[in-house]
Structure 1
Amino acid sequence: MQKGQNEIRIIWLMILVIVAVAAWFYDQHIISYICGLAFVLSVMQYVDQLQKPIPDMSRQANVRVQLTSKVPLYISSIIAVIGISMQWSWLIGLGLTAWIFFFLRWLRRLEVYLSLIEYQLKKIQQHVPDLENEPIPHLDKTQVKTSLSENNQDNLGLAEQIKHWIFQGNPVLKVAIIVLVIGLILLLRFATEHWQLSLALKLLIVAGISFAISLVGWLMFNKNRSFALALEGLGLAGLFLTLFFAYYNHVIASFALASVCFGIIMLITLWMSLKQHTIELAMMAMLIAYVAPFTLPVRSASSVEFVAYYLAINLAVAILTTLRPWKILNQIAFLMSIFISAGYVYLHGYMHERLQLAGLVVLHTLVFVWLSFRFSQLIAKKDVEEFKLKPALDIALIFGAPIIGYIFLYLIYFHESAWQAGFSLAFAVLYAVIYYFAKNNQSIQLISQSYFSLMLIFIALIPPILLPEQWSVMGWAMEGALIYVFALIRQSTISRYLASGLLVVAGLSSFYYYVQLDEFPRLMFWTLSLCYYVVVVFSNSRPAFQKQLSTMTTIFQALLMLAASSMLLVLLLDQFKTENQFAMTMLTISILLLILNEIMLFCKAGGQWFIAKWIGVIPVFVLALIIVLDHSQNGMIVWTSTFEQIGIAVSGLLLFLFWLRPVSSIRFEKEALSLGALSSLSLTSLCLIPSMPYISVVILPLAFAAWCFWQKEHEDWNRFWQARSSLALMLIWIVCSQLFTVQAFQGYLLPILNPFDLVSIAILASFIWMLSLQLKTGLDRGIVAVLIVLSLLWLSSYILLRALHVYLGTPYNALELWQDATVQLSFTLLWVSLALITMSYASKRQIRSMWILGGSILVIVTLKLVLLDLSHIGTLMRVISFLGAGTVMLVIAYIAPIPELDERS
């Protein structure tokens, strides 16, 4: 698998290079730049993955390794990006040249370290007894291949089978077969339209060649199994395709004759698959048969013809899987019938075909009911003690087919409740009969009980079907909730899955009646929302119920919480039609969610509840964002009343408690919790000083960060601030606040001694503290260093800009500031001063990484001098800028030499 992943990486890099060159040739330079950036990041990430095991390997080999910093690579990348944005070709070349130099140096040192480690490991292994020369028992290759084919591949799931085909075997052979099948299709199209021979003779020649290819594959099966199967599959594919072209071009005019020919080819395929005990041949032939109708150049099949054709293929699959437990064929047939066949009927079906389509759906359903029953028998006989129902496709294969079939029949007769109830009764009778024959079979006793549950559920569907309009939705929802509760109590997996289907049907039907009815159906949505909440709460109320929840069930319950909260918000907004509508809605739903969370904590709910509640609160945050944007005027928040302001603030605090209760949930998922809790606290903080929103929004988060800083012994609070989401929120504020605030000079007394500068400095300190915590989570030190440098320069430069704007009237947040000599001189002196302080402190304390940080600032200063100041060398300010920067660099070189490698870092 690792080899396959490496090949995928190489292919990805090659695609980036090809796309970049092609885009540059067609003058789409921006695409070339994006591909180049993606190439750089991909290569760095790939090599970084190779570098990660080196510390562990060096400890095993007792070798001391000092890994190379990637800061120069990041700086070179930034230089290239600046050159691209300014359209300076020479700067792009400089950045790329520097990046290539540092990258090659990085690779060279990596190679040296690996060679040294390998040498030391070999020396260590010389003292270990040689176990590699132990005799290995001889294994017959034919036995190994047969075992893999018959035992392992038969039990692989659909996803595992696809991975097996992609990453194992002979990839050249697989690509060749695909190319040949495409070529065969194109050949048949060309022959149909252009060749001068009679069409019957053309198709007969192609069919003869296809049969000969299959025969050759059959004869050489014992010599080269994989190659022989490929030839057999190619030949059978040719026969299927030729038959289709012959029928739809009227070479074979009779449908009966075409059906006989199709049956003969299918029987040959079945016989060869069973005779050779190979699932690969059956799979190739079936896939070609499913795809064949889409290769026709003449006309499209009608929906009835298409579904009938798929029924014939599914019958062949039923014969195969009746004799062999090849579940992947069942899965493919099931998926093809659901998505391809149903989609084709949706696009090409007509009302006058309804009766025929309903009959075909019934036949399809009966086929899959038999497949599910027979498949469960085969598995149970094979390993009775370990037989368990599995989720996803296995559950869908055994139990989902009748439900899907019933849904199709329900949609075909959507406005005729009598037909719908009749189909439900028919399915209930069918499963009563199956249960009667299966209950005495001990090997599938579990499945027989599930058949009994299916019978009860289909009977239970009849009352809501017969209810009128929105009452039917309420019936679906209530029955779904009751069956879900019953399934948890009885530990019935199939009942729980089917109850989930009822809840989904109720939700989808509610949208239909919401559009169709003249009045807003409040009672329907109240009932639906309440049923969704009941299902989620009851599922997490007891440990015995929580153990039954799989990953897919947890995701489903999270979606139920999302839907329930959304409906509740709409209902509350409709209920509170007053001036304080938003505040009342936010307060009500926040109180309800907090109470609900406390109840679940009292019931000792686990991680499944955390996921559900976090997803369920998303609509509340969407509403909060809408409220903030709606009340924003001229860079300020204007509340309509004091009650609204207080109500929104209290709602934010309640949501903050909702996220942090319990604190131990930080260990479960810190990213979502940190994002939600900080967003809630920011909402409350935003209400403190609405006239200065950019300052107000971070007051409480800063206070909370300061409190957590003093709680160093509490590990959970450190985890809270180690989340990348909290880091991203701080970074967004650092950038956006300086660019977009319109209250930056409000209350301005002196530089730093003003509200906005003080808050900016506090944010910078918090951001650096959070970055230091990120190092413990494995964030690359180079990225941390770059973020510290850029944030320090960004905020300090804006503090300086505001001071210059107040006292000297220089430009502020305008492009003209890059041409202002006073601003550029001030930037140069500020940045070199920061570099002096950082590097001198690092040299004194022998902190090498901090010294490199200050050196990065000097690199940026040098670039600025070359790119901006040198272009205006005639002004006095530019001359002073060069002289001042050079003098400070001399001082740094004298008092702050670089610390040694073997000291603390």
Structure 2
Amino acid sequence: MHKGQSEIRMIWLMVLIIVGVGAWFLDVHLLTYLCALALVMSVMHYVDAIQTPTVKIAEEIRFPVQETSKVPLYLAVIVALVGVAMAWTWMVGTGITLWIFFFLRWLRRLEYLFNQIQTHLSQVGFSPDAVIKNQFPQPTFTQNNTSSVGLTDQLNQWIFQGNPVLKVAILVLVMGVVLLLRFATEHWQLSLAFKLILVAVMSGIVTAFGYSLYSKNRSFALALEGLGLATLFLTLFFAYYNAVIPNLWMAALYFIGTMAVTLLLSLKQQSVELALMALMVAYLAPFTLPVRNATAVELLGYYAVINIAVAILNTLRPWKILNQIAFLVTVCVGGGYAFYQGDVSQRNALSLLIVLHTAIFVWLSFRFSQLLAKADVEQFKLKPALDLALIFGAPMIAYIFIYFMYFDEKIWQAGASLVFALVYALLYQASKHHHAVSLISQSYFSLMLIFLVLIPPILLPEQWSVMGWAVEGLLIFTYALYRKSGISRYLAMGLFIVAGLSSIYYWVELSVFPRGMYWSLCVSYFAVILMANSRESFRKQLSNSTLIFHCVQMLSATTMLIVLLLNEIDHSHQFVMSLLIVSGWFLLMNELMLACKATWSWIWPKWMGLIPVLVFALIIVLDQSQQGVIVWSSPFNRIGFAVSGLILALLWLRPALGLRSEKEWMSLGALLSLALSSLTLVPNMPYMSVVILPLMFCAWCYRQKNHSDWAMLWQSRSSLGLMIFWMIGSQILAQQAFQGYFMPVLNPFDLVSIAMWISFIWMLSLQLKSGLDRGIVAVLTVLSLLWLSSYIVLRALHVYLGTPFNELALWRDSTVQLSFTLLWVSLAFMSMSLASRKKLRSVWILGGSILVIVTLKLVLFDLSHVGTLSRVISFLGAGFVMLIIAYIAPMPESENMT
């Protein structure tokens, strides 16, 4: 097991234990039980993950393996759960004890198998350690240049490599300095000026001492210098905000002097580490103050000074990581703080500061391109994404801030866009003469076009601007596909995002529903997806991010289409008519895309778009239901809904490309669609009607011997979950289970229940082939048989003898309990006798499991709740059948096990 996975699993188990114990003391016992169940299943899963490769190795070396059944473990869990449900502490204790016993036995057998394999490998000349090293090679680390590796890699190297004790010591000392300054400010009796001067002198001494050690121990010297400079920055801030330094200009002068020392030391010693330590503390210094919070203008002005220092450093040295950190801190910390603390009265000052920061980062990107011109261009790639952020992110984010600050002043928005376009036009002219930075120059050209195309939609009034964004996005996306321009494609995606967000604003602000705006937005979303999948050359250009964006677009477009159709259609059948139109539209799009040979780039957006359609269909069903019965208001609604459900099922299944890799989605969507359509067949018995079409489809898939791909639909966990949900819910909640009741089994509900159980058993056999645990399959087989057969008997007893049905009183009814005992023993007899004749050891074990449940029932219920004569018959009948089983149906030998 990989070390990281082992740690994650251990953390998961610890979290379950902590949450469970805490919930118990807080009297949230249900959460404790859930945590305990999750802990048990997780432990079994983890041990099984160890056992599976061990058994595989044993089979490869032809070592005899004794398979350990996990059925007793699952039965013990069920016993404990029943005890929890019935509030029987002794039963809970019994289940836990049995589980621990069988679990320890499992571990003992696994340990014995592992030791035997190790002994066998040693005897044949293999070293277990060598095998482990070959199976799990150790990772290798290489030292990369800071200008070529990403920000994450560099931070990992500096934090986790080298001398970690030194790094932790510096961090602790910086925190101690912060606490010392706060304490000195609030408690020391000496004058505050004297205290801060004393700290500043000590910081200068530490910095000088570190510089003197540079030739002897570079890392230790740089750490001391970083500590001293960081303390100077903190002391300077405390002095200014406590009025020791009387005005801002003097504080700025001291700060510039400290920053100049940092720059000189960093450049002279060629140490990006020193600059990084000092600058990070400088960025965080304003948030260590004990007196008051800085204003948004003060913070952004302060960050501007730091970013100027970063620009000076990177003008002389290509330390790209400083650019990245400066950009991230300025946008995330500075921008977030300005958004939270900013005020309308500060708008002009904030605008100037945004322009100043933008100019700094524009210069940094331009200087970056100049440094690249001197480097080996063949080795240059714009990775990671933060490199692109320095070029595209800074102007775009700055413009977004200005756009929202002047949201109702279109002239200012358009003017800012024009200014940015002119700036990047000049940068393009200045950089295009250097062939080594052609990619950068093209980026400047793209930015110029981006800001130009923003102007027309901005000048349009209200909802017309949204329509302009959408249409312009569609045109630019089409242009990007034909010209194979990734930048234009992302520009179009940005325009669509702006259009969507702006539409929400106008939907809230306008007094009437803006139908024209949403129709244009809906049509443009559908059009861009269809355009992107219409040609093979277009589909090759779609990245994963574009595909995800198309999925979100399809989800939004389908939702808008449903709402718009409901708004347009004023008719008593508007719901079903809207569902039919949307389903037909998807069918038309799907056939068109299949004709264009579109694959995954169309399938995923299509599936995402079908989700709101299914939700809408479910809303229609709930609207038509009354007291557990579906009452269709007209034949048109009934037929139209059925046709729509069949169309949706066809859309999920066609094409069948996703059967092998995405069977969960296909199975869930197709079965839900068939179930919804099936509700129209027998609306007065919805729980029976809902499974008719899925059962027919299951029978069709079973008959497709030469088309085994269809069987994969039933190997999915989602189909298994839907089947279990129906078997449990239908028996408990169905209010029309006795309609058409003629006699046991020969009635609609019992026949459907039996058909569902047969399909369920077939599904379990497929699940077993796909890797589902044999123990779970065995437990589900037994429980499903007992559950459905018991309800068939319950319904018969209720009809003929008037016994309780779906009431707690049935557990105290002697007739019901006697019938259960005889039924379960008979099922065990039939399964075990058949298994003995056919030499089916696994089936015999299932029958034996039923006998175990019968025995538990006799002890737990019949001894305490059943009348004298019924109790005698229960025990005599069960014991007699068990005696017959022991005589005519012994357990098959293990060598004949199938």
Same fold (TM over 0.5): yes
Contact 1:61 1:121 in 2 (8 A): no
Deviation at 1:774, TM superposition (A): 1.5
Give the counterpart letter for 2:665 in structure 1: A
Contact 2:373 2:434 in 1 (8 A): no
Does residue 527 (structure 1) correspond to residue 531 (structure 2)? The answer is: no
Normalised by the length of structure 2, the TM-score is: 0.92
Q: Deviations over 1:216-257 (max 9, x none)?
A: 776777888877776665555444434333322223333233
Q: Deviations over 1:420-472 (max 9, x none)?
A: 11111111111111111222222222332232122122111111111111111
Does residue 54 (structure 1) correspond to residue 54 (structure 2)? The answer is: yes
- Summarize the Cα distance change of 1:322–1:859 in structure 2 as closer, same or farther, 3 Å threshold: farther
Question: In structure 1, the residue corresponding to 2:377 is in which secondary structure?
Answer: coil
Does residue 241 (structure 1) correspond to residue 231 (structure 2)? The answer is: no
Report which stretch shifted further, 115-124 or 361-370: 115-124
Deviation at 1:415, TM superposition (A): 0.7
- Summarize the Cα distance change of 1:127–1:242 in structure 2 as closer, same or farther, 3 Å threshold: closer
- Summarize the Cα distance change of 1:488–1:768 in structure 2 as closer, same or farther, 3 Å threshold: same
Contact 2:813 2:866 in 1 (8 A): no
- Summarize the Cα distance change of 1:379–1:98 in structure 2 as closer, same or farther, 3 Å threshold: farther
- Summarize the Cα distance change of 1:754–1:96 in structure 2 as closer, same or farther, 3 Å threshold: same
Residue aligning to 1:553: 546
Deviation at 1:802, TM superposition (A): 0.9
Q: Deviations over 1:691-742 (max 9, x none)?
A: 1111111111110010000112213202222122222211211111111111
- Summarize the Cα distance change of 1:798–1:491 in structure 2 as closer, same or farther, 3 Å threshold: same
Match of 1:503 among 488, 496, 500: 496
Residue aligning to 2:618: 625
Does residue 83 (structure 1) correspond to residue 97 (structure 2)? The answer is: no
- Structure 1: state its 5+ residue gaps: 134-143
Match of 1:748 among 741, 753, 770: 741
Report which stretch shifted further, 442-451 or 532-541: 442-451
Match of 2:289 among 285, 292, 296: 296
Residue aligning to 2:724: 731
- Paired with 1:36 and 1:598, the residues of 2 have a C-alpha distance of 50
Q: Deviations over 1:825-875 (max 9, x none)?
A: 222222222223223333333333333333332333333233322333663
- Paired with 1:891 and 1:619, the residues of 2 have a C-alpha distance of 58
- Summarize the Cα distance change of 1:527–1:765 in structure 2 as closer, same or farther, 3 Å threshold: same
Report which stretch shifted further, 261-270 or 31-40: 261-270
- Paired with 1:227 and 1:164, the residues of 2 have a C-alpha distance of 17
Q: Deviations over 1:242-301 (max 9, x none)?
A: 433332222333323333443444445555555666655555544443333333222111
Report which stretch shifted further, 186-195 or 410-419: 186-195
Give the counterpart letter for 1:471 in structure 2: W
Does residue 99 (structure 1) correspond to residue 92 (structure 2)? The answer is: no
Normalised by the length of structure 1, the TM-score is: 0.91
Deviation at 1:182, TM superposition (A): 4.8
Give the counterpart letter for 1:806 in structure 2: V
Question: In structure 1, the residue corresponding to 2:556 is in which secondary structure?
Answer: helix
Pairing of 1:60-139 with structure 2 (within 5 A)? 60-125=60-125
- Structure 2: state its 5+ residue gaps: 134-139
Residue aligning to 1:354: 347
- Paired with 2:703 and 2:277, the residues of 1 have a C-alpha distance of 65
Residue aligning to 2:32: 32
Pairing of 1:753-832 with structure 2 (within 5 A)? 753-832=746-825
Does residue 567 (structure 1) correspond to residue 560 (structure 2)? The answer is: yes
- Summarize the Cα distance change of 1:204–1:44 in structure 2 as closer, same or farther, 3 Å threshold: farther
Contact 1:712 1:718 in 2 (8 A): no
Deviation at 1:14, TM superposition (A): 3.0
Q: Deviations over 1:169-211 (max 9, x none)?
A: 7777766666655555444433332333433444455556666
Contact 1:325 1:379 in 2 (8 A): no
Report which stretch shifted further, 94-103 or 309-318: 309-318
- Summarize the Cα distance change of 1:522–1:821 in structure 2 as closer, same or farther, 3 Å threshold: same
Residue aligning to 1:884: 877
Report which stretch shifted further, 480-489 or 223-232: 223-232
Residue aligning to 2:250: 257
Contact 1:873 1:879 in 2 (8 A): no
Report which stretch shifted further, 349-358 or 826-835: 826-835
Does residue 600 (structure 1) correspond to residue 600 (structure 2)? The answer is: no
Residue aligning to 1:42: 42
Give the counterpart letter for 1:661 in structure 2: R
Residue aligning to 2:137: none
Report which stretch shifted further, 844-853 or 701-710: 844-853
Contact 2:424 2:445 in 1 (8 A): yes
Residue aligning to 2:575: 582
Q: Deviations over 1:548-577 (max 9, x none)?
A: 111111100110111111111111111111
- Paired with 1:861 and 1:867, the residues of 2 have a C-alpha distance of 10
Residue aligning to 1:138: none
Match of 1:444 among 437, 443, 451: 437
Q: Deviations over 1:772-809 (max 9, x none)?
A: 11122222222222222222222122111111111111
Contact 1:454 1:495 in 2 (8 A): no
Question: In structure 1, the residue corresponding to 2:364 is in which secondary structure?
Answer: helix
- Paired with 1:57 and 1:612, the residues of 2 have a C-alpha distance of 43
Residue aligning to 1:141: none
Report which stretch shifted further, 887-896 or 669-678: 887-896
Q: Deviations over 1:9-61 (max 9, x none)?
A: 32333343344444444544444333333332332232222223224322443
- Paired with 2:554 and 2:504, the residues of 1 have a C-alpha distance of 17
Deviation at 1:215, TM superposition (A): 6.5
Residue aligning to 1:10: 10
Contact 1:241 1:292 in 2 (8 A): yes
Q: Deviations over 1:623-656 (max 9, x none)?
A: 1111111111011111121111111111111112
Contact 1:469 1:513 in 2 (8 A): yes
Residue aligning to 1:477: 470
Q: Deviations over 1:383-419 (max 9, x none)?
A: 5335444575443333222111111111111111111
- Summarize the Cα distance change of 1:117–1:131 in structure 2 as closer, same or farther, 3 Å threshold: closer
Residue aligning to 1:408: 401
Report which stretch shifted further, 289-298 or 466-475: 289-298
Residue aligning to 1:310: 303
Question: In structure 1, the residue corresponding to 2:737 is in which secondary structure?
Answer: coil
- Paired with 2:566 and 2:624, the residues of 1 have a C-alpha distance of 17
Contact 1:156 1:328 in 2 (8 A): no
Pairing of 1:181-192 with structure 2 (within 5 A)? 181-192=174-185
**Identity percentage over the alignment?**
62
- Paired with 2:132 and 2:852, the residues of 1 have a C-alpha distance of 54
- Summarize the Cα distance change of 1:903–1:313 in structure 2 as closer, same or farther, 3 Å threshold: farther
> Number of residue pairs matched?
891
Contact 2:812 2:866 in 1 (8 A): no
Deviation at 1:596, TM superposition (A): 0.7
- Paired with 1:407 and 1:600, the residues of 2 have a C-alpha distance of 36
- Summarize the Cα distance change of 1:271–1:114 in structure 2 as closer, same or farther, 3 Å threshold: farther
Residue aligning to 1:466: 459
Q: CA RMSD in A?
A: 3.1
Contact 1:659 1:673 in 2 (8 A): yes
Question: In structure 2, the residue corresponding to 1:52 is in which secondary structure?
Answer: helix
- Paired with 2:849 and 2:811, the residues of 1 have a C-alpha distance of 21
